[in-house]
Structure 1
Amino acid sequence: MQDVWPTVRAERQALIADLQGLSEPQWETPSLCAGWSVHDVLAHIVASAKTSKLGFGWEFARAGFDFDRFTANGVARERGVRPAETLDRLRAVLDRTVSPPAPADSRLVEMVVHGEDIRRPLGITRAYPQDAVADALRLQIRTSEGFGGGRELVAGLTLVADDADFTTGSGPEVRGPLLALLLTASGREVATAELGGSGAETVRERLASSTY
């Protein structure tokens, strides 16, 4: 199994570099996560970076085994009074290598997808490592929608990256940039505009009626 942590560290570092010059209004820009600002998503990334398997069990129980409440509690806990404080908290966990009870590649999903949740609304672009994006996508298409994945979204379809050597599935083709495929499989409708192929409209329709 690939050691994801060097990539996770590099992505944390890249996000810090991209965000350290933001203005106060930019921090309150709505992210791609409904109801969350850019600042909120950063706080969530910090909370996830601090959450071990044992810590997850404890905090999940405190949230009444409600995943949405658990996530909201993490954002509230790690969101500093000022964005610079939250950014410092990410710097403090730069080298941290603990994870909630989930596959290791979920840490790649965390950093790439949430990285785009922040960057896209701000007009910031990043060239992510293609291997990391591909591994994250492989995990997302195995993961059910209820756990934040896209298994139901892409069932019966073939995903084809037009900028990488990546093809998976069977059925009508959904073709586009590897990152757009990952974001779509993670429930981000904005990325479906970059997709083509005979199966693209099916994905759009499924996503529009999903619970994301």
Structure 2
Amino acid sequence: MPEQELKRILIADDELLVIEGTARSLRELGYEVIGPVPDGEQAIETCRDERPDMALLDIQMPRMSGLDAAKIIFSELGIPVVIISAYSDPEYAKTSARIGVFGYLVKPINEQDLRVTLSVAWGQFLSHHESNDQITKLTQRLEDRKTIERAKWVLVEHIGITEQDAMQRLQKQARDNRRTLVDVARGILENHELFTGQSR
């Protein structure tokens, strides 16, 4: 889970006057500024080295666009991105939402817009991260349940006991050995596969 508070922000823009103004506004808002860097490729490298909490990227930069850089920064490093553009374009905004961009700023940027956008983007990122964690945990629980069911049926078929007895046997083995139920189930399945493989 990322830090709950947004502190360190990387900025990337090839327009010097814009980037200096943005950096100044960020510092006045209490953030630590990383950079600035002039293009998407350097933004990626700096994110890899410095691990900021968020990246603020201009949409059009030399060598690599802000959106292309955002895709790599978010998928590889899990760092959320806010995109800066010279004009408002709903299509860009739609694309952005799918690649780790959680906010969108249109130039010229005033401090109030910057403060609100960063706050909202960070909140959305934390919610997104939490949702993904919950999905991962749910998927793991379902996989564990399947493993336990498979182990239970191995016992039913090969020992000739009831489903209830098989489950009780799994639970007892887990208690006796101080292991989780799914660990015991995995052990039974591995031994079963080893045995059936050798007997062929």
TM-score of the aligned structures, taking structure 2 as reference length: 0.27
Higher strand fraction: Structure 1 or Structure 2? 2
Higher helix fraction: Structure 1 or Structure 2? 2
